[in-house]
Structure 1
Amino acid sequence: MLRFAVNTTKDLSVSSLRVALFNYMLSKKTDEELIIRIEDIDKKNNIEGKDKEIIDLINLFSIEYSSIIYQSENLKYYQKLAMQLMAQKKAFACFCSDEKLEELKQKAEEKGKKYSYDGFCETLSDETVLNCNAPFTVRIKKPKESISFNDELRGKLSFKPFEVDYFRILTHDKLPTYNYACAIDDMLYNISTVIRDEDFISDTPRQIYLRESLNYDKEIKYIHLAKLENDVLVKDLIDEGFLPSAIANYLLSLGNKTPKEVFELEEALEWFDIEKFPKKSVKFNIEELKNLNKKHLELIDELRLSKILGFADTDIGKLAKLFLTEVSTIKEIKTNIEKVFSSKTIYDENQETFDKLKNCIKKAPYFERLDSLQDYISKEINLSKDKYIKPLKYILTGKENGPDISDIYPLIKNYLGEIVK
């Protein structure tokens, strides 16, 4: 079983999406289930509806998962196991206030030292704890030996006891801390492999130590992906008109040698090998994504592309692809299509010719070919082609540059009544 964690206090970034994609790919390669875990414990900072928004985004990328679980539904397990750790003297009540701890932290910093909890409350007697009415957190005792584990990308990593420290497992309001909830969840759902960003490496020994303290002996494999620099939000990329297939293609290609430049997720399953992915940080480059997005748009079915643009006509899909000589996203294509269908009333260069030309086209019968329409225009307004070709292109496309109207006309001839208005 693999899992991808969704944090409901923030938007989905491409670095998080990358983690989701890697989890999905490995789940397919190993024939294991993938679950989505919603981290909704932080009630104070939770954003309403963020879970659904992120799940909807994940679904755009065709990432298959077996179920969605919410941490808030597991509160009874977190609290029950915390009491077990306290009963076994592996964890203790800490009455130190946040203000006091912050004061100690500042003093340590003034001395140029890294703050570490001194274990003061660990030595309190049971009688003292019972007679104290002050609010308390629950801390796990510091390990006596180093915690080591093997990272599938980085090899063996080891953390000394002071690096693990006496960390909190329950807050003052008896809610689980991040590391504690994660450790328990991975036990409850029998997780076999954890794939996440390298930012979480220091959390791993704490989670391992927690499970060991609860006598959970199943070894979980860990893979910490190299950092993705220049992180951006997935929602912003979708809004800008990047295809999910191109985004996924790009994220799986970063720092990795792939058999082909343009591919779908299903194709990537044939060669996907997580151990061959980069161990050093990689940079997200929007220009590289634009180039790849353009190539995906060039390959997309014309009818499907037209539906994305709000039509259901293969010709509109073909028209959209003509604009790929100058643009690279759905949003940019839409802008060009909107110009085609926009009302054009003012022409700076020669308004009189423009008006005559526009009225002529409105009255013109249907012509299958552009040259037939041009012959008709020349006779009706008594102008040579070189005199009206620029305003004609503007009337038909909303601009004077871009693809040639001889390529555009066959695709818009059935829409002239909507275009010339």
Structure 2
Amino acid sequence: MASATSPAAPAPGDTPVRVRFCPSPTGNPHVGLVRTALFNWAFARHHHGTLVFRIEDTDAARDSEESYGRLLDAMRWLGLDWDEGPEVGGPYAPYRQSQRMDVYADVARRLLEAGRAYECYCSAEELETRREAARAAGRPSGYDGQCRDLTDGQRAAYRAEGRDPIVRFRMPDRTVTFTDLVRGELSFAPENVPDYGIVRANGAPLYTLVNPVDDALMGITHVLRGEDLLSSTPRQIALYEALAELGVGTGGTPLFGHLPYVMGEGNKKLSKRDPQASLNLYRERGFLPDGLLNYLSLLGWSFSADQDVFSLDELVERFEIADVNANPARFDLKKAEAINADHIRLLDVKAFADACEPWLRAPFAPWAPEAFDEAAWQAVAPHAQTRLTVLSDITANVDFLFLPEPVFDEASWTKAMKEGSDALLRTARENLAAADWSAPEPLKDAVLVAGEAHGLKLGKAQAPVRVAVTGRTVGLPLFESLQVLGRERTLARIDAALARLAG
């Protein structure tokens, strides 16, 4: 059989790069989708090209305006700007496929007239019966070409039975070979790439038609997408060639790069149904967009052997699709959190304080709005910045400042309040009452001396004081926290702890 290698699209530097991100507005955005958007965005920005944001919303049963709004909101929150698409416009508008139905209908008609597509009247039951027979015989179980060469009379007879046909694209009887930007040269024999549907029986176009048509009309030069779509690539390449023959679009076939799978728990492909896949989870926990994108870029790509933390500007400067690894990438939540923590540290203090604001107000904050003290918050913000993994951690770190009483955490209480803690607390209270509260150091000395009086080092001595005052065994630097809380409230909380210990 003849072999036909797909024509090469212009390489970066020859023709301006044009890539597309075309999600379906179904459900909530997930991290796999975000990584695809990120790699397309970084590739376009690296080559000073164009990112086309297209919405694949031709499935009325699954798509929703609510999900469409979430997609746009997610892209804006992440800072992944687009050059053409919704809210921006562009020379190929509209960019919602539901608004381009006449375009797809016209192309489908032209493909039928040219003999590059045909009507298929096979029912789902008939198709499954023949697939089972093919599998039993050890043959490929794809479409067997039953309706490839129907006569006008046969088509009329099927219609008389009340059958509504789908439209199938006629695959060429030759091997399709192309060079994947991630995986190298790949070949697909014709028996493994059967004719496929491009229009449903109700006339609605399928993504197998609409995406290649829009790519051709919009001059897309590179298609960067998930590995799960690799099997559809030879079909689309054949369709690009047919579109070129019909004069649809620029006549070029894009270069393809298929991004590796993202694996979740149990070494299984991360599904959009997995809780850790939801973008909303990371927004609600207080990941910084730059921190999350930094981590997601490492799922199949690396900045350098000795650097995992970098800015988006640095990503754009370094990113090349040829450097993406074809092997599956494992999603590691702990590493994602560690990288996000590094990005929190990189903020200036004001930017950090501003970023924490949502978690210092209702509905996240457990204190009354009037109890929030801006001056106290600004005083502890620099200390909090060095301790957070995600921004939502700030609430538990500073609640002792704004609640009338510290939270009672039984595990912390049991851990800190050992035999003799009451005597230690009484001595510490006496020393703190007499201390200079203008700086943290005298408060530290007061607790240090109290500990020495009871044969304890500072680390052991300060634990009951911390739990009495803040309610937790870990948190912000203790003596800076005491100074901000103030003498009166600190002593009152130690008194309350002593009363509890006395039972």
Q: TM-score range by the shorter chain?
A: 0.7 to 0.9
Query: 1:126-165: CA deviations, max 9, x gaps?
Result: 2432452421101112312222222122222221222221
1:240 aligns with 2:285: yes
Cα 1:22/1:412, change in 2 over 3 Å: farther
Partner of 2:140: 114
Once the two structures are overlaid, the 10-residue window that deviates more, 238-247 or 184-193, is: 238-247
Cα 1:192/1:95, change in 2 over 3 Å: same
Asked if structure 2 preserves the Cα contact closer than 8 Å seen for 1:151 and 1:224, the reply is: yes
Structure 2: runs of 5+ lacking an equivalent: 1-17, 87-94, 265-269, 271-276, 361-373, 448-452, 497-503
Once the two structures are overlaid, the 10-residue window that deviates more, 337-346 or 86-95, is: 337-346
Number of residue-to-residue matches in the alignment:
412
Partner of 1:138: 167
Partner of 1:333: 394
Whole-angstrom distance in 2 between the partners of 1:332 and 1:298:
14
Partner of 1:287: 334
Query: 1:300-349: CA deviations, max 9, x gaps?
Result: 2222222222256543421322534xxx2222333322355333386785
Partner of 1:150: 179
1:369 paired residue among 425, 434, 439: 439
Alignment of 1:258-407 (within 5 A): 258-259=303-304, 260-310=307-357, 313-324=377-388, 328-342=389-403, 343-344=405-406, 367-370=437-440, 390=463, 392-407=465-480
Whole-angstrom distance in 2 between the partners of 1:257 and 1:19:
15
Alignment of 1:171-210 (within 5 A): 171-210=200-239
Query: 1:7-31: CA deviations, max 9, x gaps?
Result: 2224322222111111111111222
1:32 aligns with 2:52: no
Cα 1:364/1:395, change in 2 over 3 Å: farther
1:63 aligns with 2:80: yes
Could you tell me how far 1:98 is from its partner in structure 2?
1.5
**Which amino acid counterpart does residue 249 of structure 1 have in structure 2?**
N
Asked if structure 2 preserves the Cα contact closer than 8 Å seen for 1:9 and 1:47, the reply is: yes
Cα 1:385/1:410, change in 2 over 3 Å: farther
Cα 1:29/1:80, change in 2 over 3 Å: same
Whole-angstrom distance in 1 between the partners of 2:96 and 2:27:
16
Could you tell me how far 1:75 is from its partner in structure 2?
0.9
**Which amino acid counterpart does residue 323 of structure 2 have in structure 1?**
K
Once the two structures are overlaid, the 10-residue window that deviates more, 24-33 or 145-154, is: 145-154
Percent identity (aligned): 26
Could you tell me how far 1:190 is from its partner in structure 2?
1.3
Whole-angstrom distance in 2 between the partners of 1:55 and 1:354:
57
Partner of 1:380: none
1:11 paired residue among 28, 44, 61: 28
Whole-angstrom distance in 2 between the partners of 1:261 and 1:370:
36
**Which amino acid counterpart does residue 20 of structure 2 have in structure 1?**
R
Cα 1:375/1:138, change in 2 over 3 Å: closer
Whole-angstrom distance in 2 between the partners of 1:36 and 1:252:
19
Asked if structure 1 preserves the Cα contact closer than 8 Å seen for 2:30 and 2:278, the reply is: yes
**TM-score normalized with structure 2 length:** 0.72
Structure 1: runs of 5+ lacking an equivalent: 378-382
Once the two structures are overlaid, the 10-residue window that deviates more, 366-375 or 180-189, is: 366-375
Whole-angstrom distance in 1 between the partners of 2:402 and 2:190:
68
**TM-score normalized with structure 1 length:** 0.85
Once the two structures are overlaid, the 10-residue window that deviates more, 156-165 or 393-402, is: 393-402
Partner of 1:169: 198
Partner of 2:109: 83
Cα 1:91/1:24, change in 2 over 3 Å: same
Asked if structure 2 preserves the Cα contact closer than 8 Å seen for 1:302 and 1:314, the reply is: no
Cα 1:62/1:86, change in 2 over 3 Å: same
Query: 1:386-419: CA deviations, max 9, x gaps?
Result: 99955542354221334441233355559969x9
Whole-angstrom distance in 2 between the partners of 1:30 and 1:161:
35
Whole-angstrom distance in 2 between the partners of 1:18 and 1:281:
13
Asked if structure 2 preserves the Cα contact closer than 8 Å seen for 1:302 and 1:315, the reply is: no
Asked if structure 2 preserves the Cα contact closer than 8 Å seen for 1:368 and 1:413, the reply is: no
Partner of 2:256: 222
Asked if structure 1 preserves the Cα contact closer than 8 Å seen for 2:397 and 2:475, the reply is: no
